[in-house]
Amino acid sequence: MIMNYSLRHAGYESNEDSNQIVKAEGAYLYTKRGQRLLDLCMAAGSQLLGHSNPEIVSAIQSQVSKGTIYLSNNQYIHETCELLSQVVPSEYSDYIFSNSGTEATQKAIRISRLASGKSLIASFEGGWHGSNEWTLHDSGSRFDLDKQALNFGIPASINRDRLIVPYNCDKTFETLERHKEKLAAIIIEPIQGSNPQKNISGFLKKLTAFCSQHNILIIADEIISGFRVSLSGASPKLGLKPDIITYGKSFAGGLPVGLTVINEKVSQMSFGNPENAVITGGTYSANPLMAVAATATLKQLIQKNYTSFNTESDTFKNTINSELLSKNLPFNIISNGPFLRLAFTDKPFKSRAERDKLEMPATLQKTFKDIIKKKEIFWPTNGIILPSFEHKEPELRLAREAIISSCIETCEFL
């Protein structure tokens, strides 16, 4: 059959791919040709309870017969909000729903500008906040504090109101000091996907103190870390005290969702003046289908043992690293709880920029990915290993063995 369309979606282009996914269940994906793949990506962390969770599936199926969207106030979103109020830190009581992490961060940035009356937004090298034009930039090996790279399709005028600074670096504060009077907010992932460091609290606490001293708002992007490293997210654990937090992915069972929550100070600065107007709605935002999935997800997450989840993830990392070290292999797993990444170097680093300088060439990294794919492992395209509560010891053992053996085989090409 001749195709008369072009699907411009990375990785989805060919309709002839026999590895197309046709089913997902628990910790596994199933392909068109019948393969079962152990999923180490879990939809970029969205499937924290595993694929096709029975309670989430049941909630969605029940709601479909009642209507998928009303574009009106509905009881289901209020049930979700009641559960969120039990797990989101209590100082954040204003909830704004959207349909993706990108939308959530866009709304957070817009609200921070409204609240502060300023326009400049700072973000960090190595960070990721979705396809948000204010933060989308090349974050490779760049140490020049004032140099900015521009992605295609984004106008140069954007650079007037954004600032890109190094991550986990004392020199960052020299740059922020020079721009402090113009800064509306600083947006940061408490745990970067490109660099999930365990010992990041010192930097985050210093950032909190700087922003508090100079009246700069902090936006914590917890799209991945929220509900993952703890029920309340990463910020409380790591000493970051944001004014605005964005969530997404894992709390709606795989359905599209974004959530921006703000504290009382920002609420008053933004919405306390009736003359202020900022769009907080959207056609699909807070729809009942997402709401029932989120409610079913949150009810289960509240019952989960996060201490064990973190301990199992640490054991997974430590076991792999011990084996890699004993075999003198130039790889290392870095992590912050169930938020992990395989670094293609055994040297320590503090930032994505440092990591890029130390890692083996891209050709060898691709070799590793090709090798582990043959072991029926679905390796994350973004490199972030995000286990679910469905990754029990058999799955973790299979993943450990596949990663170690793939590292060994990759080194044969050095």
Number of C-beta neighbours around residue 224 at 10 A:
29
Spatial contact of 226 and 196, defined as CB atoms under 8 Å apart = no
- pLDDT of 133 reads 84
- pLDDT of 13 reads 62
Please state whether the predicted TM-score (pTM) of the whole model is above 0.75.
yes
Which residues have C-beta within 8 Å of that of residue 140, sequence separation ≥ 6?
352, 353, 356
Sign of the four-CA dihedral 161, 208, 172, 235: negative
**DSSP SS3 for 360:** coil
Sign of the four-CA dihedral 352, 357, 358, 362: positive
Instruction: Phi first, then psi: give them for residue 362, nearest 5 degrees.
Output: -60, -30
Q: 357-385, pLDDT tens digit by residue?
A: 999 999 999 999 999 999 999 999 999 99
Instruction: Phi first, then psi: give them for residue 352, nearest 5 degrees.
Output: -60, -40
Q: Look at the domain 21-53+304-411 and name its fold.
A: Aspartate Aminotransferase, domain 1 (3.90.1150)
- pLDDT of 23 reads 97
- pLDDT of 149 reads 52
Element (H, E) at 86: helix 75-87
Which residues have C-beta within 8 Å of that of residue 405, sequence separation ≥ 6?
375
Q: Which of 24, 23, 40, 20 is nearest to 380 (CA)?
A: 40
Low-confidence ranges of the chain (pLDDT < 70): 1-3, 13, 16-18, 138-151
- pLDDT of 93 reads 92
Question: Where are the domain boundaries for CATH 3.40.640.10 in the chain?
Answer: 54-301
Question: Where are the domain boundaries for CATH 3.90.1150.10 in the chain?
Answer: 21-53+304-411
- pLDDT of 3 reads 63
CATH code given to domain 54-301: 3.40.640.10
Q: 3: left (phi > 0), else alpha (psi -120 to 50), else beta?
A: beta
Element (H, E) at 124: strand 120-124
- pLDDT of 2 reads 60
How many Å apart are CA 336 and CA 321, to the nearest integer?
14
Which residues have C-beta within 8 Å of that of residue 177, sequence separation ≥ 6?
none
**Residue given tokens 């979606």 in the structure block:** 9
- pLDDT of 142 reads 35
How many Å apart are CA 128 and CA 252, to the nearest integer?
20
**Residues written for the chain:** 414
